[in-house]
């Protein structure tokens, strides 16, 4: 059971806009930045969004992130076939157990 | 270009010790500018952060693994290592090493900007 909750699946047709949500609590998303990672089949996760809404060099502006309170969202505009992948949100959690990184369970995006 | 490469046995027997090393190229661990991490991912599941080490040797670990994990750093060889004791089948996963970049200089919060390709480890007799 992941600390961060994501829908297990999402889908869209080429050109569509898709939103993936990530829900947490005051000890994690409510207190820290949110990060998003894209994992293509058989590869390592790749940083997609950092500090809620910043894109690393080379990530298309079709990908955008936002955060409000204890939830965050990843939006993919102009969906393309190569966007088919698993998407994970991540942040930090500062509960009684001490500061540690946490990931969501992931959302499998299918491009129909 | 920063590159990380995991190495170690792909098969470990139950109750024994898992040991992996991450070799870093294109960045110097001893520069003290980044955090060096281990993450694992069981098949079909999301990643699980294991812990991180700084160039100084300072570590923090996942609460769920803290009692069995030790991270160490070898700045002379630009590598860092993971030891996980008393493994069970539940520790079967792909193990990744990754670099952590602080959100602002000096901050303890960071994100993982470069990852290794991953090392599959199976725990089985």
Q: What is the pLDDT of residues B37-82, one digit of tens each?
A: 999 999 999 999 999 999 999 999 999 999 999 999 999 999 999 9
Res. B104: pLDDT tops 90: no
Sorting pLDDT into bands at 50, 70 and 90, what band is B33? confident
Answer whether A97 sits within 8 Å of B118, measured CB to CB.
Answer: no
B102 part of contact set with chain A, CB < 8 Å: no
Answer whether B112 sits within 8 Å of A102, measured CB to CB.
Answer: no
* Main-chain dihedrals φ then ψ at residue A91, nearest 5 degrees: -165, -165
Contact indicator for A24, A88 with CB cutoff of 8 Å: no
- The interface residues of chain B toward chain A in range 66-95, judged by CB-CB distance below 8 A, are none
Sorting pLDDT into bands at 50, 70 and 90, what band is B101? very high
What is the mean predicted confidence (pLDDT) over B15-44?
A: 95
Sorting pLDDT into bands at 50, 70 and 90, what band is B106? confident
Residue found by looking up tokens 């079909």 in the block: B44
- The interface residues of chain A toward chain B in range 17-76, judged by CB-CB distance below 8 A, are 32-33, 35, 37, 43-47, 50-51, 56
Q: Which residue of A has its CA nearest to B117?
A: A44
According to DSSP, residue A56 is labeled P
Q: What percent of chain B has pLDDT over 70?
A: 100
Tens of pLDDT, residue by residue, chain A (112 residues): 789 999 999 999 999 999 999 999 999 999 999 999 999 999 999 999 999 999 999 999 999 999 999 999 999 999 999 999 999 999 999 987 889 999 999 999 999 9
Pairing verdict, β B119-123 and B11-12: parallel
Q: Min CA distance, B76 vs chain A (Å)? A: 27
In what helix (H) or strand (E) does residue A11 lie, and over which residues does it extend? strand A9-12
Closest partner residue to B109 among A32, A43, A88, by Cβ?
A: A32
pLDDT at B45: 94
Q: Which residue of B has its CA nearest to A34?
A: B111
Contact indicator for A36, A87 with CB cutoff of 8 Å: yes
pLDDT at A71: 98
Res. B113: pLDDT tops 80: yes
What is the mean predicted confidence (pLDDT) over B102-123?
A: 93
């Amino acid at each position: 059971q992941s600390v961060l909750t994501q829908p297990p699946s999402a889908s869209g047709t080429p050109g569509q806009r898709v939103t993936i949500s990530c829900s947490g609590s005051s000890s994690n998303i409510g207190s820290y930045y949110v990060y998003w990672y894209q994992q293509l089949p058989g590869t390592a996760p790749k940083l997609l969004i950092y500090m809620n809404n910043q894109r690393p060099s080379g990530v298309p502006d079709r990908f955008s992130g936002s955060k409000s309170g204890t939830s965050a969202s990843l939006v993919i505009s102009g969906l393309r076939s190569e966007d088919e992948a698993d998407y994970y949100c991540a942040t930090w959690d500062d509960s009684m157990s001490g500061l540690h990184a946490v990931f969501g369970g992931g959302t499998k995006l299918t491009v129909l | 270009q920063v590159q990380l490469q995991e190495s170690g046995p792909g098969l470990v027997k139950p109750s024994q010790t898992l040991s992996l090393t991450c070799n870093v190229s294109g960045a110097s661990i001893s520069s003290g500018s980044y955090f060096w991490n281990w993450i694992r991912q069981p098949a079909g599941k999301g990643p699980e952060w294991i812990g991180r080490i700084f160039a100084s040797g300072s570590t923090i670990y996942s609460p769920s693994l803290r009692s069995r994990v030790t991270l160490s750093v070898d700045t002379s060889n630009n590598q860092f290592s993971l030891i996980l004791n008393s493994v069970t089948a539940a520790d079967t996963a792909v193990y990744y090493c990754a670099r952590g970049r602080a959100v602002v200089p000096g901050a303890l919060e960071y994100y993982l900007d470069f990852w290794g390709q991953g090392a599959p480890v199976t725990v089985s007799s």
